[in-house]
Amino acid sequence: MPKVFFATDLHGSEVCWKKFLNSAKFYGADVLICGGDMTGKAIVPIVAENGHFTFALGGAPQAVAAEQVAEVEANIRRKGYYPLQMSVERLHELDGDPAKRAACFQEVMLEGVDRWMKLAAEKLRGTGIRCFVSPGNDDEMEVDDVIRRAELVELAEGRVVEIDGYSMISTGWSNPTPWNTHREESEEQLTKRIEEMATQIQDPSRAIFNLHCPPYKSGLDEAPAIDADLKLLHGGRALRPVGSTAVRQAIEKHQPLISLHGHIHESKGAVKIGKTLSINPGSAYEEGMLMGAIVQLDSKKGIKSYQLVNG
Amino acid sequence: MADTTMGPGAPRPALFLRNATGLVKAWSTFDAFVYSFWSVNLITLGLYGMSYVYNIPDGQLLASVLIFGVLVTFIVITYAGLVSVMPRTGGDYAWQSRVLGGGIGFVLAVTGWWFTLWLWAPIYANILVVQFFAPLAATLGWSNVATWAASPNGLFVSALILLAFVGVVVSLGMETYAKVQKICFWIGLAGLAVVCILLAVYSQSDFHSAFNREAASLFNVQGDAYQQTIDAASKGGFTAVAFSSFALVPTLLVLPYLAFYLLWPNWGATLYGEVRGAKDIRKPFWSMFWGLWVTIALVVLVILLMLKTVGWQFYYAANAAYWNSYYAVAGAPAPPVPLWPYPVMWAGFLVNNHLFQALLITVMALWFFGWAGTLFLSSTRVIFAAAFDRVLPSWAANISAKRRVPYGSLALMIAPALVVSWLYAYKTTVQAFFYDATAVIAITFLGTVIAAIILPWRRKDLYEASPVARYKVAGIPLITISGVVSALFLIGMLYEWAHWSLYGSNSPDSAKYFLVTYLAAVVIYVAARIVRSRQGIDLRRIHHEIPVE
């Protein structure tokens, strides 16, 4: 029976992606599932000027020589940001033109995903390990095409896939967020999207629901409360459930064996919703730590064991 | 869709951000300060803890407070650094597990944040009695109620009220309670201002007269109750020392008493994992730093005002007379005013109006109700973290679907706390255990600061990727230096607790408590390892890092 390793919300951290690919061997997993939000949130300009390069990473601007740039780039990628060398003129051009900035973002993100797909091919070739990715609400739609072209990574979004006798449905779409990201829709539309896949499943007791957004009021969806200006309230200690009612209803209605979620990085946990074990392994991508879940499936018990790990 | 963010003070963009989930504006340092300020609660914990300092009359309290503040600042630096490197829910448990190992992390964290918090429930219940129920009832003329409140039955009922209150707060969640805390904060501060103004404008002879007047009015004490209080303390063996005298060793011996309240500015560290932006070291540092030092400034003010108006000899004597009577010290008579010496009540006596006095006591009770609700909040987080690591059963992290009540962790806190509260109220022979309530948490903190000391080498990758890595002194990581100072401070206090009988925690009963507590934690962890191993789960691999290349 397959042993599944699930991680999510890597947000551009190349260290986490490499760990994700190595996790199969490390934990003895047969199947890797990446739950979405692969792409990073920020570009860090490394500006060439006067014979050196300047950048700022969470502090005062620093200047480095050309031979140090590779190390700087690796450190930036580790945090999930995209390093981008540019001239002062290009910096001001991007700063002043939102359209050019958006195009630049898309270019570096797709390049990044493509590089990850090639890394996956190098690592997984000949191993027999299946690797699934379903982009999340933070990933632009064009990411799907890059994954479709990948040699050894399977795009899981919007379809039912068979894994050694188990059926998995996946979507990275979420209910609306204050950030108006790329894959958001109303709860009604999300219900429809999930139902179109869920109704194809013959045996819910052998089903995996890989749904990026966690179920509402499950404890896997507690995010710090913010005001309309996106400012954290009460020192960040006040938590609100922000999960999806559509996801919760789908779990309650179909009672799959297991549901895998992400989206809310701080809300790590594993809870039972009826017969379903719902897991959000959390995310600490900025630290280069890969938080994940190991699930050993079993033909009789359904789930033989599960464990949340910080790899 | 893309957005631009300017670097701090930079003339051009430091990075370009796009719209993505979770990109929020920084949390208010003031909001976090309020939480830290409540943690080192001057009224609820501070006045109660300092009421024992009479045991070391030649210790200079003011100097002790300042020394304590400086030393705890190193703990604040250490914890702010850890929050910045690993902003994880579970705080001490998560840090110790990842740096020192899962077994050590579990044992140290659950003893400090789970088992020992059971002891704090009756301690808080007693504070509720002596700072609210008893003085309020006495002031309103309900002397029978005041007497009952201080009885074992009254104490146990107070514990039930406290546990119900804590359960409601945990169930409602921090968002609702944070609003309550803010209201309590401002009204409580206004109440403290009134107390300080009263102590500032009246003289010591005014207080002497007012105390005698209220002692006669409320407690039927004839004659000079002020002097009778001093005499009662003398008969119990108390000898006053002038406030201005200073001796280093006795002053250092006062520190463990101050730990009862000043050791906790980092109390919220178990919750920082849920705070986006906690990786910025400055905010957690300044929120804890100001929480500590604003409190210390207020302590200094209150001490000086008490010195001026109440009289230092009377303050210590009143505490000595009360506790000597409470603990039935041989030859110690009951004090003329039989209530715990509550400086707020004394300040109220300066106004000859019982309704005003009752109102002042009620307003100052907001210092209790604004904080006590969080008693088990950090504990539930640690239990959650241990359950997610499969060390505890999964039901320990269960929450109800409708109201999001963490009933599993609440049951693990409230049920034992009820038993412990009953023991505290009715079996005075076990009260020695309760002196260990602070020391056990100090041991947990010690484990965490040791983790911080070795972090730059033990988890080099995490450390170097964090904002803390750029803070060094003479090439040595700041978190290591602050950790070493913190560890020496905590070890010094643990030595004092273990060596001197002053604190009540070097008795055979205390030793048994420590042994049973740590043994229970070890047994739970070993049992979990065996049970999980049979289920095919290796608990050792939870924190093993996956190779990158």
Instruction: Give the residue-averaged pLDDT of B219-233.
Output: 95
CB atoms under 10 Å from CB of A262, counted, come to: 32
Closest CA to B268 of B37, B16, B521, B57: B37
Residue A59 binned pLDDT confidence (cut-offs 50, 70, 90): low
Cβ neighbourhood burial of B248 (10 Å; 0-12, 13-18, 19+):
exposed
Cβ contact, residue pair A235, B28, below 8 Å: yes
Residue B371 CA to residue B222 CA, distance in Å, equals: 38
A161 touches chain B (CB under 8 A): no
Q: Which of A56, A101, A237 sits opposite B271 (nearest CB)?
A: A237
What pLDDT is stored for residue B271 in this prediction? 62
Q: Measured between beta carbons, which residues in chain A are less than 8 angstroms from residue B388?
A: 268-270, 308
Residue B29 CA to residue A206 CA, distance in Å, equals: 48
Residue B489 CA to residue A81 CA, distance in Å, equals: 40
Per the CB < 8 A criterion, the answer to whether A76 and A41 are in contact is no
What pLDDT is stored for residue B381 in this prediction? 82
Per the CB < 8 A criterion, the answer to whether B53 and B341 are in contact is no
Cβ contact, residue pair B388, A268, below 8 Å: yes
- Which residue of B172, B464, B546, B548 to mutate against A (max A Cβ within 10 Å)? B546
**Is it the case that residue B312 has pLDDT exceeding 60?**
yes
Q: Measured between beta carbons, which residues in chain A are less than 8 angstroms from residue B1?
A: 98, 102, 105, 180
Angle at alpha carbon of residue B252, lines to B59 and B189, rounded to 5° = 75
**Is it the case that residue A237 has pLDDT exceeding 80?**
no
Residue B273 binned pLDDT confidence (cut-offs 50, 70, 90): low
A268 touches chain B (CB under 8 A): yes
Q: What are phi and psi of A262, to 5 degrees?
A: -150, -130
pLDDT in tens, B141-160: 999 999 999 999 999 999 99
Distance from the B463 Cα atom to the nearest Cα atom in chain A, whole angstroms:
9
CB atoms under 10 Å from CB of B56, counted, come to: 23
Q: How many CA atoms lie within 13 A of B167 on its CB side?
A: 16
Residue A118 binned pLDDT confidence (cut-offs 50, 70, 90): very high
What pLDDT is stored for residue B392 in this prediction? 93
**Is it the case that residue B8 has pLDDT exceeding 50?**
no
Cβ contact, residue pair A305, B536, below 8 Å: yes
pLDDT in tens, A12-41: 999 999 999 999 999 999 999 999 899 998
Residue B348 binned pLDDT confidence (cut-offs 50, 70, 90): very high
Token pair for B459: 């988890």
- Name the more confident of A227 and A159: A159
Q: What are phi and psi of A232, to 5 degrees?
A: -65, 135
pLDDT in tens, A76-109: 887 788 999 999 999 999 988 989 999 999 999 9
What pLDDT is stored for residue B274 in this prediction? 46
What pLDDT is stored for residue A1 in this prediction? 83
Residue B287 CA to residue B294 CA, distance in Å, equals: 11
**Is it the case that residue B7 has pLDDT exceeding 50?**
no
Distance from the A195 Cα atom to the nearest Cα atom in chain B, whole angstroms:
22
pLDDT in tens, B47-96: 999 999 999 999 999 999 999 999 999 999 999 999 888 876 558 888 89
**Is it the case that residue A195 has pLDDT exceeding 80?**
yes
A272 touches chain B (CB under 8 A): yes
Token pair for A177: 């967020």
Q: Which of A56-60, B17-21, B113-117, B190-194 has the lowest mean pLDDT?
A: A56-60
Most confident of the ranges A24-38, B170-184, B418-432: A24-38
Residue B278 binned pLDDT confidence (cut-offs 50, 70, 90): low
Token pair for B452: 């911080």
What pLDDT is stored for residue B88 in this prediction? 66
Residue B25 binned pLDDT confidence (cut-offs 50, 70, 90): low
| High-pLDDT (> 70) share of chain B, % | 95
What pLDDT is stored for residue B42 in this prediction? 96
What pLDDT is stored for residue A226 in this prediction? 82
The string of DSSP codes covering B102-121 is HHHHHHHHHIIIIIHHHHHH
pLDDT in tens, A260-304: 999 999 889 999 999 999 999 999 888 888 999 999 998 888 899
Q: Which A positions 52-71 lie with beta carbon below 8 A of chain B?
A: 55-56, 58-59, 61
Token pair for B454: 């070795």
What pLDDT is stored for residue B85 in this prediction? 86
Quote ipTM for the complex: 0.88
**Is it the case that residue B518 has pLDDT exceeding 90?**
yes
Cβ contact, residue pair B15, A307, below 8 Å: no
The verdict on pTM exceeding 0.90 is no
Q: Which of A8-17, B37-46, B365-374, B465-474 has the lowest mean pLDDT?
A: B465-474
Cβ contact, residue pair A19, B548, below 8 Å: yes
Nearest residue of A to residue B7, measured between CA atoms: A56
What pLDDT is stored for residue B14 in this prediction? 80
Residue B538 CA to residue B532 CA, distance in Å, equals: 7
Q: What's chain B's average pLDDT?
A: 90
**Is it the case that residue B1 has pLDDT exceeding 70?**
no
Q: Which of A81-85, A146-150, B3-7, B390-394 has the lowest mean pLDDT?
A: B3-7
pLDDT in tens, B374-401: 888 878 888 988 899 999 998 998 888 7
Per the CB < 8 A criterion, the answer to whether B199 and B210 are in contact is no
A2 touches chain B (CB under 8 A): no
**Is it the case that residue B272 has pLDDT exceeding 70?**
no
Residue A183 binned pLDDT confidence (cut-offs 50, 70, 90): very high
Token pair for B495: 């030595």
Q: Read off the amino acid at residue A205.
A: S
What are the residues facing A155 on neighbouring strands?
A133
Instruction: Give the residue-averaged pLDDT of B178-190.
Output: 93
Q: Read off the amino acid at residue B469.
A: A
Q: Measured between beta carbons, which residues in chain B are less than 8 angstroms from residue A45?
A: 13-16
A214 touches chain B (CB under 8 A): no
